[in-house]
Chains A and B, each alone.
Chain A
Amino acid sequence: MILDGKSPSGPLAEKWDRRRQELKLVNPANKRKYKIIVVGTGLAGASAAATLGELGYNIEAFCYQDSPRRGHSIAAQGGINAAKNYPNDGDSIYRLFYDTIKSGDFRSREANVYRLAQVSNNIIDQCVAQGVPFARDYAGYLDNRSFGGAQVSRTFYARGQTGQQLLLGAYSALSRQIRAGTVKLYPRSEMLDIVIVNNEAKGIIVRDLVTGRIESFAGDAVCLCTGGFANVFYLSTNAMGSNVTAAYRAYKKGAYFANPCYTQIHPTCIPVSGDHQSKLTLMSESLRNDGRVWVPLKKGDTRAVKDIPENERDYYLERKYPSFGNLAPRDISSRSAKEVCDEGRGIGASGRGVYLDFADSIQRLGEDTIRERYGNLFEMYERITGENAYRQPMRIYPAPHYTMGGLWVDYNLQSNIPGLFVLGEANFSDHGANRLGASALMQGLADGYFIIPYTIADYLARTEPGNITTEHEEFGHSREKIASLTDKLLSIKGDKTVTRFHYELGRIMWDYVGMSRSEKGLNTALEKIPALRAEFWKNVRVTGQGHELNQELEKAGRVADFLEFGELMARDALERNESCGGHFREEYQSLDGEATRDDQNFSHVAAWEYKGADNAPEMHKEPLEFENVELAVRSYK
Chain B
Amino acid sequence: MQSFINSSVGRKMLVAVTGQFMILFIFVHVLGNSTVFFGGLNAYAAKLHSLPLLVWITRIIMSTVITVHVFFSIQLTLENWKSNPGSYAVSKYQRSTFASRNMIWTGALIGTFLLFHLLHFTFQVINPSFAASANMDALGRPDVTFMVISSFQHFISSIIYIAAMIALALHLFHGIQSSFQTLGINNERSMPFITKSGSVASVILFLGYIAIPVIILLGLLKGQ
* Contact between A and B in the complex (any CB pair below 8 Å): no
Interface residues of A (CB under 8 A from B): none
